[in-house]
Amino acid sequence: MKYLTIKGEGLSQIGIGGADLGANPTNEIAAIRYGLTHGINVVDTAESYYGSERVIGAALRGIDRHQVFIISKFLPRHATPELEAASLKPSLEKLGTDYLDLYLLHWRANANLAVAVAGLERLRQEGLIRHWGVSNFDVIDMKELLKVPAGEHVFANEDLYNLTSRGVEYDLMPWQEKHQVGFLGYSPFHAVGWHYLRPTPVLKRIATAHHASPYQVMLAWITRHNNVVTLPKASSVTHVQDNITAMDLQLTPIELQKIDQEYPAPTRKVPLDKI
């Protein structure tokens, strides 16, 4: 497993994506528990992910709470001190914990950032969350966030990042690195219905050379610079095993070049990609 440090926290570069769990809780719980006992220490969920917080809560039972970095999110319409506290309560209850490691504003919409941050700071002072952050923010939003009182306490921004969504490399990732804001990358396989990333011949050839799968190559590529935590969702132990093993896969400069030819890096500002 590869780890990185964000504001003093040691996080595995692969986390557990927790969207839309609940279709097959037995397998999902086994998969999450396998991950958390084999080097993964990050798990990502949200109040809007239906039954996911409960499934994760069940998977966490018996696992040392202090070894897991739990992320959940609240909706922009709940971005006030009162509603953030009201959203957090059931999330904690479902997850079976009395604090979150990271609480994220799920997306910006028309949230008032100063008001949202005031509430998050209060939750932090009360010990109910250890850190707070945002999701689906672009550079312009991050700049605005840093201007509100205590905005500089933002721990991380969670955005879409995979081979077909590289726009963040142009300006957002360098900006976050400069301002020491962690980058969490979601949907490494762009897995929403028909958007699911299909392995191309180039990815297949690289995978074969490493005795790996094209999906492992995608994860190795995302984590190549040791500056991103990627959050694949996997509901089987086999997939979690594959995703963990992908962290041992080192792509060569020539392979990286071939991937760049097929999935070019941005050469100009592009609108933030979201799912």
Residues at the contact surface with ligand NAP, assessed by CB under 6 A: 17-19, 44, 106, 135-136, 158, 186-192, 213, 215, 231-236, 239, 242-243, 275
- Amino acid type, 99: Y
SS3 state at 265: coil
| Least Cβ distance, residue 123 to ligand NAP (angstroms) | 19
- Nearest to ligand NAP of 19, 116 (CB atom): 19
- Nearest to ligand NAP of 197, 259 (CB atom): 197
Cα–Cα distance, 107 to 86 (Å, whole number): 18
| Least Cβ distance, residue 234 to ligand NAP (angstroms) | 4
- Nearest to ligand NAP of 127, 189 (CB atom): 189
CB count within 10 Å of CB 108 equals 18
- Nearest to ligand NAP of 18, 57 (CB atom): 18
**Residue closest to ligand NAP, measured at CB:** 17
| Least Cβ distance, residue 192 to ligand NAP (angstroms) | 6
Given a contact cutoff of 8 angstroms between Cβ atoms, the answer to whether 178 and 142 are in contact is: no
| Least Cβ distance, residue 195 to ligand NAP (angstroms) | 9
Cβ-Cβ contacts under 8 Å for 118 (sequence gap 6 or more): 81, 149, 150
**Quick one: tokens of 228?**
């991103």
**Quick one: tokens of 200?**
């191309």
